[in-house]
Amino acid sequence: MGESANAKASKILNPEILDFSTSKNVLKAATYDFLEIENNNLGYKVKYLLKKFQYDSNLDVTEYEGDCIFEHMDGTAEQQAKWAANRKKTYEGSLMHFLRSVYANNSRQEGFLIYLSRSDFFPLTIGPNPVVDEQIVRRVDNNFLKFRFVKRLYVVFDKKKAAKPDKLVEDDSWIVSDLSDNGSLFMVDSQVDRRGSYANYNKLLIQGSWGKKRIGEQLPWNITLNKGYNLVNHPFFQNITTCINAITDMPANAQ
């Protein structure tokens, strides 16, 4: 579920259908039907079909993948207002928010600072100056973009800092010895659409703030919270939203 307040407020209603197994240092889980999850912080009932889950205790690596369907919970006007506020809070600074803003070419305006990592091991050596969206992605066609940077990105969500002009440094770098609460490492080899959805990925690594946010933080792909994110009003999205998740939370020194 994750480690957040949203995760703690989420409950699996049918845990008996989970089947656990171990192989050496790897814990695996499987299920033959949808897990039914109730998220009382976000106001969703989620049906999650787990395709893959495994945790390697030696590497401290978690991998999972599945399809999910969202249903809005019924509630009073007060509850609906609380859920709406929690969804907005969950969305801001999320991976979905980041990918949508990169697609819209306005990640800096949305509060994200993107740095190129020059190393794969902790402590990380980070490029001194933030990069712009055009430096890290290329357009595949009118619907998709693809990340062009093959190394890890260090992404910080800090609206105040992002609003200030950069003090450009020519030949220098800085060291990150630990990931902050609003910092994430990210690397993906995938196509991304305007919903912030990634598909047909060959490699995906998420660590830090985003790596801690899992099913308890999941929002449907059709959610619209900010101006400029008006998605296609397709009938499919009026009833259910199907999403595919795959998160690999790896140590920075893992290959």
- Kindly tell me if the per-residue pLDDT of 206 is higher than 60: yes
Give per-residue pLDDT as tens, 45-64. 999 998 888 888 887 778 88
The pLDDT value given to residue 202: 63
**C-alpha count within 13 angstroms, C-beta hemisphere, residue 84:** 11
CA nearest neighbour of 26 among 61, 66, 1: 61
- Kindly tell me if the per-residue pLDDT of 187 is higher than 90: no
Q: Between residues 210 and 16, which one has the greater pLDDT?
A: 16
| Phi and psi, residue 244, nearest 5° | -120, 125
The three-point CA angle 79-83-85 to 5° equals: 120
- Kindly tell me if the per-residue pLDDT of 93 is higher than 80: yes
Q: CA dihedral in degrees (143, 88, 211, 237; nearest 10)?
A: -40
CA nearest neighbour of 195 among 236, 249, 156: 236
- Kindly tell me if the per-residue pLDDT of 177 is higher than 80: no
The pLDDT value given to residue 158: 93
- Kindly tell me if the per-residue pLDDT of 255 is higher than 50: no
**C-alpha count within 13 angstroms, C-beta hemisphere, residue 172:** 8
- Distance CA(127)–CA(54), nearest Å, equals 33
Give per-residue pLDDT as tens, 30-40. 998 999 999 99
CA nearest neighbour of 112 among 45, 209, 35: 209
